[in-house]
Each structure stands twice: as structure tokens, then as C-alpha cells.
Chains A and B, each alone.
Chain A
Amino acid sequence: MALDLRQNKYADVPWEEKERLFEEVKSDMRFHHALYGCYECGVCVAACPSARFYDFSPRVIAQAVAREDVDLVYTLMNDSIWDCSQCFSCDRCPRHNSPGMLITIMREVAVRNGLETAREALEGYGRIIYKIMSTGTQVSPDMLQPNAFPDWGPHVHHISENLEVWRRALPPETLHTTETGWAVSDKTIIELYLIWHMTGVMDMIEEVDEGLHMILVDVMEERLEEEGYDVSF
């Protein structure tokens, strides 16, 4: 989709709200290490994979933020940041900026504030969040299902058909799992849940997916309770 920077698509959003979100971006402790001003040289764009296939530019992002263009930053926070591949090829910026890092920060603010566009960007992604947060490994063998990866061809079908026995045919004993990438010990999972609890990450999930938040909280609270922790998210 073409990025329309001429019209203010978000004119109905109060300027104060846009400014509040921008201030939140600037208050991130990493912000000052991500932007030192911008030459507009375009080195970042030349290196950027997303710029080749989307109407997307790390230079525009660095410029908008450097100029404190509150309206444009809000537009980009909605219509641009989710195109980024987070490869950090743009870190070769001669000003030592990291447009990729600016985008990470802007994404975090977008999620924390439950922007509709962040919800849309993460549609269909919930099962991944569920997997990583509840099991401690992100990609599990049982995700290799033909309907999830139709463009990867029949080999996904072969793997899913043989999954259980092919996992047993792996010599490392941590890899016999099908629902997690490797076998994670119970104690480790509990520690991971406590980290999620102590860092407020679950509040971010609630902003973008209430249903997922509910399921995750159920799973974690039950497990923590079994281990003697009285914790509510």
C-alpha cells in the first residue's frame, strides 16, 4: 500500500494524543543512542530490504523523528513501521543512527498503547506469541503444518506426517519434543513466567489481543500456583 504523506490521514486524532505518543518514544532510554541527527544521505535506504519491496524508508523515519514532526511520526507509527524487517542493515548510517532501533521503540509504543494498526499488524500472529510466552521456545516442530506453510510445498506435509518418529530420530536428547523446539525444564519455565510478571509484558499483550491475554494468564497463573506462587497478572 502506498504511504500517503501528503494528506493527514489521521487529522481526526488530537494533536495532544500524537504528541503524547511521541514523548513516549523519546522517553525510551535507548532513544538518544538511536538518533544523532540525519544527513538525509540515504545510506540506510540503500541497505534496507523493506525499502525495495514496500513504500517504506528508514530515512523518512529518521527525518520525521529528528524534525519532531509529530503528525508525520504518528502516521509512520501507524502505516510504516510494521514493514520493517528489523535486520539492522541501516546501522551502517554514517551518523551512527539506528533507524531500526527507532522503529523497535516506535513499535513498542504502538503496542503499549493498543493502536488499531498494531492490532492489525499482529493479526494471525497470536499463536506465535502464545508459544514463546508459554513454552519458552518460539518455533515448535508441530507448527510445520501444510495449511500454515502452503508456499513451502509438499515437504511440509512429509514432515508433519512423520513428525513424531522423525523427532525421535534425532540424537540430541533435548530434541525429541514436538510441541517445543527443545525440552525446557519446569523450573526454567516458572522463572520465565516470573520475568513476564515482573516486567509488565502481559499488559502489552492485553493491549493488542485480549483473548490471547486471557488464555496466557490462565495457563501461567495455574502453573505458578502449582509451584506455590500467589501471583496474578
Chain B
Amino acid sequence: MIPLPVVKKASERDFRLPENPPTEDYHEALDELEKDGEIIVQRVPEPYIEVKTKYGRTKKIPIGKTWHHKSCGQCGHIPGYSTSIFWLNRQLGLDYIDPKDQTSCTAWNYYASATSNSAAQAAVAIRNFAAAYETGYYPLIHCGTSFGHYKEVRQALIHYPELRAQVRKILEKLGKPLVIPEEIVHYSEWVYAMRDRIAERQVIDMSHITATVHPACHYHKLIEEDAIYTPEIYGAQRTAIITGVLQELGVNVADYSTWFDCCGFGFRHILVSRDFSRSFAVQRKIEVMKEEANPDIVVTHDTGCVTTLDQSQFAAKAHGKKVGIPVLSDSQMAALAMGAHPYLVLQMHWHNTDNRPFLEKLGIDPDEKWREFEAAVERLKSGEQLYLTWDDVEAPVAAK
């Protein structure tokens, strides 16, 4: 065999930052445009945490004063996802806004059907950014696709003066400024930046848990520049998101060979051509994870990925496939570690794959927790209470 000393395992490779980052620095481009009076740049409020991105540049992650740009799929179909993000903010005593003056980024529809155009997509993005700016709070983007798409929009607005002119005219009609945030920040970057504070408050031991991670394509592939990387995690060859949080919580993160693969969501496919999404999610992700790592849980950080990886397992099970791994977001895992209620906060009953064995392995009795949820639902049904409120779920379960 010919020795190939240059070929090393990813974990053995040295971390070298490129001397000249191959991508432009959007910070400089935004500053230029602001100096020319073309745009307003909303600055990340202090205090913030600095992290490194793919090519060694610095990105600021706000701690508090965040304006939560919600996700259609999370809020609509997996609402414990966003609830957990808010719960974490509340537990950490941070000020935030959950706005009604927010629309979807509409990018799911755009990538599914193309029934839109660059001007409309950019105007929707900037309308939302302007709505955040008006409140003085900083946008924190819940959805991986919104995050990726907004980076595309930012790039287009930087490079195409004709698009800027068009969007400015539209925004003027709405009485809003053309404002672009200094950083486009995904919530999972916030969870990552807050991981030590989350771990300080951990009440559920996770050291006997094995997890596999699925990173969202629209987080680290679509405009690759401003995703978080660190030499400590996979030698900065893969994004540090999710993995960094799980390691901080003591979880054993297991590797598998199709880590870089998409989940199979497909935008239009998950809605009208689901045979593709199911096949891909099961054959390229779940079965490979099961075979190579046999994890207790799959952890990801995007709407579409949670949906596809979780929901696709039902039909696959009927076909005798090697499936049966529950799927959670990093925000749900972090909240669970801090003692959040699995049904009142994580809302795990909206997920499909059986997650009871996972809860049991954590020492949480799913039957008892479900009875508590049902008791709360009874209060709503009887009219004793109209809605559950934060007061009903605020205290960590372990502290009760």
C-alpha cells in the first residue's frame, strides 16, 4: 500500500485559517453603504459574545434585547421548538420581544414554488428588519432557511444597486427605513454562545446519552461565510453549532458518515412529493446514524430538518427499516437539560417518533409528565383557565 501521509482523519488535521479569506467581508460592505447614506446598519446591542466564523472573522452574538423572528414550521407544527427558545431566554433573565409585527421570510414558499422574485423577497426581509429596528431590539432568526435566505438577500442588496433602489422605494411607501442588521444571527448561534450559562443551570444529567447531530444546509452551506467554526470542534472542519452545546451538556456526540448530507426536506418535496423526502431522510440519514452510532437522540437546529427526520420515520418503520430515533432541536435539548417540562415546554407530543425511552433514560417519567400536561389541558377545557401562561411552566421540573 502506498502511504499517504497527507491524508489525515478530520480529527487529526491541523487547523489553519486561510491567510486571505476567500469571501468578502460583509461588515465592510455594510459599513461602506451606511457611510454613503444608502442604508442603516442596526448594531448588535451590548453586551454581546464574540465568536469566530468559517474564515476566522469575528461575529457578534447578542445576549439579550432580542427580537424573535419566528419560523412558520416551528410555530405551526413543532411549537415546543420556539417555546423552548423563549423559555431559555426567560430562565436566563433576558429581555426579549416575541413580535406580532413579523411575517414569515416566505423563503420556504420561494424555494418550493418560485412564485416570487428578488425584489419581493428582499422587501419582505427588510420589512421585518425594519420592524425589529423600530423596537430597538435585535433580530434573532429562529429558522435556518430564513437565516440562509436573509444572508442571500443581504448579499444581493450589497451587490445590486438596482435592487437597493427598488427595495428602498417599496420601504418608503411603507414608511420604513432600509435597515440591515450588522450580523444576521441564527438562534442556534445564540444557544451556542450561551452554552456555558446553560450548562451552569443544568439539572438533568446527560453524560450517558449519545446523540448524532444534523446541521442544516441553509445554515452552513448557503452563504457559508458567517457560520460558526472553532478549532476545538472537528478541527474547524465542520460548524461548531449544536455539537458545542451538546458537549457542554456532557452528551456524547457520535459521528456518522453522512453528516454533510441534506435531510431531504426539499421545500416542495416535503409538501407535495414526500416519497423523496422520506427516502432520503431514512436511507441517507436515520439508517446510517442507527447503523454507525446507534444514538439515543438526533439533534438538529432547523424547522425542516426536525420535521423531515422525525416525521419520515413512521412510514419507514412500517417497511421494517432501521429507524426509531427521536429528534429534537438544540433549544429543546438545552431546555430539557435545564429542567424544562417535556410536554408543557418542549411540547414533545407534537413530535412523531417515540421519545418516551429517551425521557426514561434521562430519569424522567413520561407518564407522570403526561398526566401533568393533561391536568393543565383539563383546566383549559373546563374554562378555569383560557390559556397556559409562562407562570404555569416557568419553574424547572427538577426544582419543583
List B residues 7-37 near A (Cβ within 8 Å): none
Is B124's beta carbon under 8 Å from chain A? yes
* Cβ–Cβ < 8 Å partners of B41 in chain A: none
With contacts A108-B114, A169-B388, A170-B388 taken as known, whether A87 is within 8 angstroms of B352 at the C-beta atoms is: no
- B 85-123 binary contact with A (CB < 8 Å = 1; else 0): 011000000000011111110101111111111111001
> CA separation between A170 and B98, bound complex, in Å?
14
B267 within 8 A of partner (CB):
yes
Assuming the contacts A108-B117, A132-B106, A138-B72, asked whether A169 and B373 have C-beta atoms less than 8 A apart, the reply is: yes
Which residues of A are found within 8 Å of B390, using beta-carbon distances?
171
B24-69 interface with A by 8 A CB criterion: none
Which residues of chain A have C-beta atoms less than 8 A from B193's C-beta? none
Q: Is A78 an interface residue (CB 8 A)?
A: no
Q: Tell me whether B268 and A50 are in contact (CB under 8 A).
A: no
Q: Report A-chain residues with C-beta under 8 Å of the C-beta of B217.
A: 87-89
Is A184 engaged at the interface, CB distance under 8 Å to the other chain? yes
Within 8 A of B (CB), among A8-55: 28-30, 33, 47, 49-50, 52-54
- Which residues in window 169-203 of A have CB below 8 A to B? 169-176, 180-185, 187-189, 191-192, 194-196, 198-201
User: Cβ of B393: which chain A residues have Cβ within 8 Å of it?
Assistant: 171
Q: Does B301 contact A (CB under 8 A)?
A: no
Nearest-Cβ distance from residue A62 to partner chain B, whole angstroms: 16
Contact status A141-B82, CB under 8 Å: no
Given the complex, which residues of B lie within 8 Å of A91, measured CB to CB?
Answer: 221-222, 224
Q: Are A181 and B170 in contact (CB under 8 A)?
A: no
- What DSSP secondary structure best describes chain B's contact surface? helix
| A85 in contact with B102 given A138-B109, A169-B373 (CB within 8 Å) | no
B231 adjacent to chain A (CB < 8 Å): no
A58 within 8 A of B: no
Given A138-B72, A151-B274: A168 and B77 within 8 A (CB)?
Answer: no
Q: CA separation between A158 and B348, bound complex, in Å?
A: 13
Contact, CB under 8 Å: B376 / A144: no
A88-B115 contact in complex given A49-B284, A53-B280, A138-B108, C-beta closer than 8 Å: no
Q: Does B131 have its Cβ within 8 Å of any Cβ on chain A?
A: yes
B104 CB, min distance to chain A CBs, angstroms: 5
A interface footprint on B140-168 (CB within 8 Å = 1, 0 otherwise)? 00000000100000001001101100000
Number of chain A residues whose Cβ lies closer than 8 Å to a Cβ of chain B: 82
Give B260-275 as 1s and 0s: 1 = Cβ < 8 Å from A's Cβ atoms.
Answer: 1110111111011010
Q: A29-B163, A199-B119 are in contact. Are A128 and B352 (CB under 8 A)?
A: no
Task: Check A129 for interface membership: any CB of B closer than 8 A.
Answer: yes
> Do A195 and B114 have beta carbons less than 8 Å apart?
no
Nearest CB in chain B to that of A186: its residue: B100
A195 touches B124 (CB 8 A): yes
Tell me, rounded to whole Å, the shortest Cβ–Cβ distance linking B120 to chain A: 4
Instruction: Give the size category of B's interface with A.
Output: 35 or more
What residues of B have a CB within 8 angstroms of the CB of A140 in the complex?
A: 76
Q: Which residues of B sit under 8 angstroms from A172, Cβ to Cβ?
A: 82-83, 86, 98
> Cα distance A183–B389 when bound, in Å?
16
Q: Which residue of A lies closest to B224 (CB)?
A: A91
| Contact of A87 with B262 in the complex, beta carbons under 8 Å | yes
- The digit string for B199-229, where 1 denotes a CB below 8 A from any CB of A, is 0000000000000000001100110100000
CB-based contact A52/B117 at 8 Å:
no
A85 with B267: CB separation less than 8 A = yes
- Counting CB contacts under 8 A, is B75 at the interface? yes
User: Could you tell me if B276 and A128 are in contact, using CB atoms closer than 8 angstroms?
Assistant: no
The distance in angstroms between the C-alpha atoms of A38 and B42, with both chains bound, is 38
Q: Are B170 and A198 in contact (CB under 8 A)?
A: yes
Interface presence of B356 (CB below 8 A): no
Give A contacts to B, CB under 8 Å: 28-30, 33, 47, 49-50, 52-54, 82, 85-89, 91-92, 104, 107-108, 110-111, 118, 121-125, 128-129, 132-133, 136-141, 143-144, 149, 151-153, 155, 158-159, 162, 165-176, 180-185, 187-189, 191-192, 194-196, 198-201, 204-205, 208
The 11 listed contacts between A and B (C-beta, < 8 Å) are A49-B266, A87-B266, A91-B222, A139-B72, A144-B76, A152-B352, A155-B314, A171-B387, A188-B102, A192-B103, A201-B117
Beyond A162-B377, A187-B101, A189-B103, 12 extra complex contacts between A and B, CB < 8 Å: A49-B264, A49-B266, A49-B280, A85-B266, A155-B352, A159-B350, A167-B79, A171-B83, A171-B389, A176-B387, A181-B71, A188-B100
